[in-house]
């Protein structure tokens, strides 16, 4: 395991609060978050715990960006 992995794990653990969601919970609802973003809605208001998790977890944030990129790449061009 890399130093980055351990540093991220320790940092995330130190800032964890009761009620925080795990990476597994995040990934299970990440599609909803991305759909909200893509439709112009504010996912922070609807999924605040997920938004908070994405602020502290680089891995999940990167996955969210990848999903959003994939949606935009698959969308038909408006030319």
Domain range annotation of the chain: 21-74
Q: What does the pLDDT average to over 66-78?
A: 84
**Phi/psi of residue 20, nearest 5 degrees:** -65, 150
pTM: 0.69
DSSP string, 27-46: HHHHHHHHHHHHTT--HHHH
Q: What would the pLDDT profile of 26-52 be if each residue is shown by its tens digit? A: 999 999 999 999 899 999 999 999 999
In angstroms, the CA 55 to CA 49 distance is: 10
Residue with the bigger pLDDT between 42 and 8: it is 42
Tokens describing residue 51: 């938004």
Decide which of 43 and 3 is more confident.
43
């Amino acid at each position: 395991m890399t130093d980055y992995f351990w540093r991220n794990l320790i940092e995330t653990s130190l800032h964890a609060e009761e009620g925080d969601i795990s990476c597994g919970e995040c990934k299970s609802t990440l599609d909803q978050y991305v759909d909200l973003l893509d439709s112009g809605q504010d996912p922070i208001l609807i999924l605040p715990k997920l938004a908070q998790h994405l602020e502290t977890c680089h891995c999940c944030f990167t996955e969210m960006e990848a999903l959003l990129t994939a949606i935009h790449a698959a969308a038909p061009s408006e030319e």
